[in-house]
Structure 1
Amino acid sequence: MLRLMIADDHPIFRSGLKWALEQFPEVGEVRVASSFEELTAILPEWAPDIVILDLNMPTLTAPESLRYLRQRHGGLPVLILSASGEPDDVIGTLRAGASGYITKASEVSELLAAVKVILDGGVFLPDGIIAARCDPIGPARPAEPSPSVPRLTRRQYEVLTLTLQGHANKVIAHNLSMSEGTVKTHLSAVMRLYGVNNRVQLLREVERVGYRS
C-alpha cells in the first residue's frame, strides 16, 4: 500500500487531491502539509514512499526545498506538482533533485501513474519536455556533434530514448522485445558513458550535452 505525502499551500486543492488519491485501492495512507515547514516537521516521524510537492510553496523556492530534502532525506523521491508546464521549470527542478514533474491539469490517475513510475526507478516528465529542450545531437544543434556527446549503439539509443520519456525498465523491455535484465545492462552502459549513477543524473546530463547514435 502506498504512503503518499502532499505538500501544497492551497487548502481546497490539497484536500481534494488527498480525497481523490484515497479512492484508489493501492493507496494506503495520504498525509498533507500546508507549508514546507510543516512537511519537514512530519518527515522525521512518518516515512512516506514519495512526496508530492507544489512548485510554488511559500518561504522557499522549489530548488531550495529539493536541495534541503536531498540533504536531509536523500533517498526520498519527490514529484513536483505545478500549474506550469514550462520546460525551464521542469528542467530546473530535475537539476535540483526532483524525480519527476507533473502539471495540475493532469488527471489524478496520471499522477498516480507518475508515482508508480518513479517508485519503479523511472523519471516522470510531461510529454514533449525532452523534445523541447534536447534533440538527438544536443540542445544547440551544432553543425557537427560535440565530441563530448557519447556515441551510443542502436540499442543503447533506443533504451535511452524510452528512459528519457519516463518509462520504467519493465515497460522498456516490453516495447523493445528484450528482457528486463538486458535493459538494465544497456542502461548501465549508457550511465557509464555519461559518467552518472542514476536516471535523474542521466537526464540532467543528456539535457546538457545531448545524445546520438
Structure 2
Amino acid sequence: MTVRVLVVDDHPLYREGLVTAISTMAGKEVVGEAADGAEAVRLAAELVPDVVVMDLHMPVLNGVDATRQVTTDHPSIAVLVLTMLENDESVFAAVRAGARGYLLKGADRAEIGRALDGVSHGEVVFSAAIATRVLSYFAAGRSGPELAPFPELTDREREILDLVARGLTNAAIARQLVVSDKTVRNHVSNVFAKLHVAGRAEAVARARDAGLGQ
C-alpha cells in the first residue's frame, strides 16, 4: 500500500527537498504541500493523506495547533513532526496535540522513511535522542505531556495567559505580578498575536481547552 503524504514546512527550499526525497522513496507518494499550519489543516481535510509531515514553528497557525486540529478532525491521519525544536516543551506539546512521531531535521532519508511507515501503521516513532529523553522523563515520574501547552509562548506569557483564563483583568494581573499595567497589556497583546486569536474570549477558550485557568 502506498503511503500518501502531505508535507508542511514554511521554508521553501527545505520543503522542496523533503518533497523530492519522500517522492523517491518506495511506497510513498507526496499528495500535497503547505507553507503554514492553516494551509495544512485545509489540505488535510481536502486530501485526507495517510501522514502529515509537520514542522512546528510556522506562521499563521503553528504546528502544534495545526496538529491538534488535524488529529481531532481526522483521527485516521497520522502526524509526524519534523522540526529543529528539541526542547521538552515542544516535544510534549506535540505529543499532547496528537502527533504520533517526532523527528529532528537532522534525520536522514532512511529514518524519515521508517518513521513514515511506522506512524502510518499506528506506531509511535521518536528520533533516538528524543526517545531517550522522553523515556527518562517518564521514568522520573513526571507527567510530560501536561507540562507546557503553547510552546511558542514564553514562561511569563504562559503565566499571564493562565491568569487571563482565570478571569483576571489586566489591572488585577499587574497587581498580582507586581508589574505595570502597560507591561501586562504588552504581554497580553503578544499572547493574542502568537495564538492568532481575535480577543480575550477566544484566548480564554483556547487556554482552558489546554488545561490552563483551572
In the superposition, the TM-score normalised over structure 2's length comes to: 0.59
Mapped to 1, the partners of 2:85 and 2:46 lie a distance apart of 31
Q: Which amino acid aligns with 1:73?
A: H
Q: Which has the larger displacement, 26-35 or 12-21?
A: 26-35
Shift of 1:83: 0.9
Q: Show the counterpart of 1:108.
A: 109
Structure 2 counterpart of 1:8, one-letter code: D
Greater relative contact order, per chain length (Cα 8 Å cut-off, separation 6+)? 1
Aligned equivalents of 2:108, 2:124: Cα separation in 1: 18
Distance 1:36 1:132, change over 3 A: closer
Question: 2:126, 2:15 → 1: CA distance?
Answer: 21
Which residue does the alignment assign to 2:38? 37
Deviation of 1:92 (Å):
2.0
Q: TM-score, normalised by structure 1?
A: 0.59
Q: CA deviation at 1:27?
A: 1.5
The AA in structure 1 aligned to 2:35 is: S
Larger proportion of helix: 2
The percent of aligned pairs where both chains have the same amino acid is 28
- In 2, Cα distance between the equivalents of 1:62 and 1:10? 13
1:7 touches 1:33 (CA, 8 Å); kept in 2?
yes
Give the Å deviation of 1:101: 0.3
Match of 1:27 in 2: 28
In structure 2, the CA distance between the partners of 1:26 and 1:130, relative to structure 1 (3 Å rule), is closer
Change (3 A) 1:99 1:133: closer
Q: Decide whether the 8 Å contact of 2:71 with 2:79 is kept in 1.
A: no
Partner SS, residue 37 of structure 1: helix
Q: What do the CA deviations read for 1:121-165 (whole angstroms, capped 9, x no partner)?
A: 211112143443444983259xxxxxxxxxxxxxxxxxxxxxxxx
Q: State the partner residue of 1:121.
A: 122
Aligned-partner Cα distance in 2 for 1:28–1:126: 22
Q: Which residue of 2 aligns with 1:96?
A: 97
* Residue number in structure 1 paired with 2:75: 74
